[in-house]
Chain A
Amino acid sequence: MKTFIKFCSIFSLVISIFSQSIAAEKVDYLETDWSFKGLFGKFDRGSLQRGYQVYTEVCAACHSMKYLSYRNLSEKGGPEFSVEQAKAIAASFEVVDGPNADGEMFTRPAKLSDKFVMPYENEKAAQAANGGAYPPDMSVLVKARGGGVDYIYSLLQGYETAPAGMILDEGVHYNKYMYGNKIKMSAPLSDGIIEYGDGTIASVEQMSKDVTTFLMWAAEPHLEARHRMGFKAIVYLIILTTLVYYSMKKIWSRVESEV
């Protein structure tokens, strides 16, 4: 029994050391307190809604988010816009549908069931419009980068003038947190670039935090449900384990042996 506990703690220690040492390069990312971390982590609803605003007004000009639908915006555990708001958001986009009875394709306002409209027809068009670099799809971007939310949050604030002696090509920018420090995307955020509906001051830091929160939700739309269920599951397991432990002790007391 004691060995078992000892083993479990050693194992978790090894895992944490391992995962930390393997986690790409040791970069000190900017820190902020994320409301969705921890046992009971939940998204900050206001932050998600503001984050959606940053996404749609800034990022969506180049970045697609092809695995999300407009209905997701009103679903539980997300930004939780009202169904009417989500419908209005959807209706502000045009999608190509068809063919109709005459065999013609036609455009119509988007519905809740439609996927987020993409800024470019395809990857090649996106590359052509962005000097050869493809602005990655943002649906699971947070999970597709080693540093996760901290990396994205830092990257958005990591634009600086290149150190002396570093030669940057046309259309390449210096970013402290980018792999190799060279990034094709120009600094997307600047103070006051958008005006928040809820009156929050749109500083670069605030926008970075909001949009990163939004991206985290986009990548893990069921995060809140997962945390809720996880807590219940683990409490249940601990109670059951305790009961089984005492049953085991009782049963084994019949024989001359230790458990």
Chain B
Amino acid sequence: MSEHEYRPKSKVGQWFNDRLPLLTLANHLTDYPTPKNLNYWWTFGGILTFCLITQIVTGLTLAMHYIAHADMAFESVEHIMRDVNYGWLIRYIHANGASMFFLAVYIHIFRSLFYGSYKSPREIIWIIGIIIYLLMMAAAFMGYVLPWGQMSFWGATVITNLFSAIPLVGEGIVTWLWGGYSVDNPTLTRFFTLHYLIPFLILGLVVLHIWALHVPGNNNPVGIDIKKPSKDTVPFHPYIVIKDGFALLMFMIVFAFFVFYSPNILGHADNYIEANPMVTPAHIVPEWYLLPFYAILRSVPDKLLGVVAMLSAILILAVLPWLDTSKIRSAVFRPLYKQFYWILVADVLILGYVGAMPAEGLYLLIARVATAYYFLHFLVILPVLGFKEKTIPIPLSITEPVLGGNPNLAMAKKKESKIE
């Protein structure tokens, strides 16, 4: 890569860079050759970085006023909302920021699924991403416990109780997690500690995620390997910076609508009732972004197997690069996969919907069918499809289909613009 020849212009710069090559790094980041045909689904990486930093900054501020104690947590949140200068703003950004973070990460993941970004040589980027996603879920879950409302308390009770499904040692593990015999003050203080720690672990993993990305470079909507730098690429700055910035601003407008005009719509009303171990809410529901997995958990009649199914639903993603046997990355050139992809999207949305509904009657039946299909997609459809599917011929470079010529390629381009 070209940055190895980079030398700062000034003497001081050279002196510094020889000792710590930060300027080389900066040069690499600005010059980084990026495929020029990236569409807006590729802007969510930048948006996610923004989400993470927003959560960390608002979270630090909240932590200065929040008191992690079972008797005072709820009151301290009200103190933030009423008496801390702009406390309401900071808290609403943080609470809705979690939802925005997940919205962006789901788009990011499904973009990767559509364009096959998880395939060789990007498996490590993908696996790091899955670990980040797992940590995000842990952080979000523990964060939801902190206001110590009814849903906090009972959500924590339900989720920690899942560990009791482990044979022999389950009950012991649950007691150990709680720091007692029920969810109580010790649980709250450790959840606060972990909720504070995890974002920094995520931050570290994000650095690795980007580092791993910069080795092979970005995938692209056509899904072919490209020469870097070449006519197919543009330098990251200013091209991608401004495009990411534009998309981020659009995202922030949506974000602002939630924060300023319906800050509580994504939360549950019960969480404004202080935690009461004596009163169980009528329906215990997790936040929307965990609902598909909640539906999978409840669709299995056996507790242990339910937990196994829920965990497998996430972990199966980690082996996705090897389950998908097709050599073609982008769904643009895989007519059958494209259809199955949209069925999967619908399947996950359905799972999310039934996850919010009581687990009985028709809802339970739908949840079971959708769960079965989810696993079928990854374990059967994807491996078989790689061998059976007749794919559309892929172009040799990004510029080629743009300039046209070969009728096959023109068709491919047409397909692609339809997706866009």
Closest A residue, CB atoms, query B420: A3
Residue from A14, A22, A226 in contact with B88 in the complex, judged by beta carbons closer than 8 Å: A226
Residue from A2, A67, A145, A233 in contact with B75 in the complex, judged by beta carbons closer than 8 Å: A67
- The residues of A that contact B207 with a CB separation of less than 8 Å are none
Cross-chain contact A1 with B40 (CB below 8 angstroms): yes
Chain A residues 60 to 118 lying within 8 A of chain B, measured CB to CB, are: 67-68, 72
- For this complex, into which size category does the number of interface residues on chain B fall? 35 or more
Closest B residue, CB atoms, query A14: B349
Give Cα A230–Cα B257 distance, bound, in whole angstroms: 7
Cross-chain contact B256 with A237 (CB below 8 angstroms): yes
Cross-chain contact B78 with A251 (CB below 8 angstroms): no
Residue from B92, B234, B238, B272 in contact with A143 in the complex, judged by beta carbons closer than 8 Å: B272
Closest B residue, CB atoms, query A218: B82
Among A67, A145, A227, residue most surrounded by chain B Cβ atoms (within 10 Å)? A67
Task: Report whether over half of chain A's contact residues are helix, strand or loop; otherwise say mixed.
Answer: helix
Closest A residue, CB atoms, query B83: A69
- The residues of A that contact B419 with a CB separation of less than 8 Å are 3
Which of B8-16, B186-194, B259-267 faces chain A? B259-267
Closest A residue, CB atoms, query B255: A237
Cross-chain contact B78 with A3 (CB below 8 angstroms): no
Whether, in the assembled complex, A39 has its beta carbon less than 8 Å from a beta carbon of chain B, the answer is: yes
Whether, in the assembled complex, A198 has its beta carbon less than 8 Å from a beta carbon of chain B, the answer is: no
A contacts with B, residue count (CB < 8 A): 51
Whether, in the assembled complex, A234 has its beta carbon less than 8 Å from a beta carbon of chain B, the answer is: yes
Whether, in the assembled complex, B89 has its beta carbon less than 8 Å from a beta carbon of chain A, the answer is: yes
Cross-chain contact B89 with A226 (CB below 8 angstroms): yes
- The residues of B that contact A247 with a CB separation of less than 8 Å are 242
- The residues of A that contact B399 with a CB separation of less than 8 Å are 256
Whether, in the assembled complex, A221 has its beta carbon less than 8 Å from a beta carbon of chain B, the answer is: yes
Cross-chain contact A19 with B260 (CB below 8 angstroms): no
Whether, in the assembled complex, A146 has its beta carbon less than 8 Å from a beta carbon of chain B, the answer is: yes
Residue from B103, B243, B249, B260 in contact with A240 in the complex, judged by beta carbons closer than 8 Å: B249
Residue from A22, A139, A252 in contact with B78 in the complex, judged by beta carbons closer than 8 Å: A139
Chain B residues 249 to 302 lying within 8 A of chain A, measured CB to CB, are: 249-250, 252-254, 256-257, 259-261, 263-266, 269-270, 272-273, 282, 288
Residue from B40, B246, B420 in contact with A245 in the complex, judged by beta carbons closer than 8 Å: B246
Other CB < 8 Å A-B pairs besides A233-B260, A241-B249, 5 of them?
A8-B254, A68-B82, A140-B272, A226-B260, A240-B249
Q: Can you show 5 pairs from A to B with CB atoms below 8 A apart?
A: A4-B250, A229-B89, A230-B257, A233-B256, A237-B252
Interface positions of A (Cβ within 8 A of B): 1-4, 8, 11-12, 14-15, 18-19, 21-22, 39, 67-68, 72, 136, 139-140, 143-146, 148, 179, 219-222, 226-227, 229-231, 233-234, 237-238, 240-241, 244-245, 247-248, 251-252, 255-257, 259
